[in-house]
Structure 1
Amino acid sequence: MGAYIFARFEFRLKNALYYFFIAGMTFPVFMALVPLFFVVQNLGLGNSLPGLILVYTAYSLPFSMFFLVAFFRTLPEEVAEAAKLDGCGEARIFFRVMLPLARPGLISVGIFNFIGQWNQYLILLLLVSDDDKFVLSQGLANLAVEQGYAGDRSGLFAGLTIAMAPILIVYALLQGRIQAGMTAGALK
């Protein structure tokens, strides 16, 4: 919704707020590790799934906003105007008209965020300390470190292949939608 508002409406401080969101892409996650840990712990969300969801959402928000604002700007304004003439309010225009038109962009940004968060290791290592809450990639990395040079390399690479499989399957199933989302609005 925020991307739609930034793309379609004019209001005071619009550019300042938009650039505030986009500035989040310029900071690497390494800069915020210690403060992030203390904030999550002080909120009582340390070592929990809601804490990870909150952090991953905040981490994905700048790219999602950047991508979707550009995508909503490419959607035809005439369709929204026609819906407004038919008596639709702004919320109905968004949910009934613009959101279905933005499906390729939403799928693309969802896939990019899924891939980025699936490969995220450092935040997960920082915020999760229980062995039973580790995800597959973190468990494999911990296993490789514990085994050192005497480890079972064939088992480790089999596990890495299994960890990589969901990304490959998602991409193979949705590659047409990814390409449609990236090229939408390029040709009129």
Structure 2
Amino acid sequence: MVVGGALMLTMLFGALIAYCLARYPFPGNRIVYYTLVAGMLFPVFLALVPLFFVVDQLGLLGTYHGLILVYAAYALPFTVFFLHAFFRTLPTAVAEAAFIDGCSHTAVFFRIMLPMARPGLVSVGIFNFLGLWNQYLLPLVLNPDPDRYVLAQGLASLAVSQGYSSDWSGLFAGLVIAILPVLVAYILFQRQIRDGLTAGAVK
């Protein structure tokens, strides 16, 4: 639930931001883009303490909603960086023809440009899914309630507890639960991942 909600927010806002930065020149365009890219270089460890207090003051500490928002913000810089280069490679003539036919900017984005960018969207969606699915540090700090543990926290707690007992079946069952969605996603979308990585590389 947490990864799915964060992934939807990240893909929606990441695609909107990347498209605007790639297609609409405006004062400060490069500043906004490089600020987002710089977010990829900022270690999450340095942001944990202020992030904890911000989430706490918003009343979202220990909630899934707070974790979804933090996950989305954490994955947004990479999404914008990836999709920005992809949107710049899409043909401009198609969008211009749609504008001539009377399409609005919103309709051109959702009905024309977004479907054309599907390989890139699938690729960055898979990468974000893997990164968020394996996230442990953020939920450890922002989700301290054992009753609301996400899967990574539950597996870590299970692994620690199994060090002092012999219930290996429970540990391996948890590992299968963690591995299975990632394996299924890769098997289903491996062609789209490969196509998406190469589609935005050349014009």
Q: Which amino acid in the other structure matches residue 160 of structure 1? A: L
Task: Name the SS of the counterpart of 2:188 in structure 1.
Answer: helix
Q: 1:34 aligns with which of 45, 49, 60?
A: 49
In structure 1, which of residues 121, 135, 138 is the aligned counterpart of residue 150 of structure 2?
135
- In 2, distance between residues paired with 1:37 and 1:97? 40
SS of 2:59 mapped into structure 1 = coil
Alpha-carbon distance, 1:149 to partner: 4.8
1:23-62 maps to which residues of 2 (within 5 A)?
A: 23-62=38-77
For 2:92, the equivalent position in structure 1 comes to 77
Asked whether 1:5 is paired with 2:20, we answer yes
What letter matches 1:32 in structure 2?
Answer: A
* Equivalences for residues 1-188 of structure 1 within 5 A: 1-186=16-201
Q: SS of the counterpart of 1:36?
A: helix
- Which stretch of structure 1 is more off in the superposition, 73-82 or 147-156? 147-156
Please, what TM-score do these two structures have when normalized by structure 1?
0.93
The equivalent of 2:11 in structure 1 is: none
Identity of aligned residues (%): 62
Provide structure 2 residue ranges, at least 5 long, that are not aligned to the other structure: 1-15
Question: How much does 1:28 deviate?
Answer: 1.4
Other structure's SS at 1:11 match: coil
**Which residue of the partner structure matches residue 13 of structure 2?**
none
Superposition TM-score, scaled by structure 2 size: 0.87
8 Å CA contact 1:137, 1:160 repeated in 2: no
Q: Is the 8 A contact 2:120 2:200 kept in 1?
A: no
Counterpart-to-counterpart distance in 1, 2:83 and 2:202: 18
Contact 1:144 1:151 in 2 (8 A): no
What's the RMSD between the two structures over aligned residues?
1.6
Shift of 1:150: 4.2
SS at match of 2:103: coil
Structure 1 alignment gaps of length 5 or more = none
Q: Give the superposition deviation at 1:93.
A: 1.3
Q: How many residues were matched structurally?
A: 188
Matching residue's letter, 1:126:
V
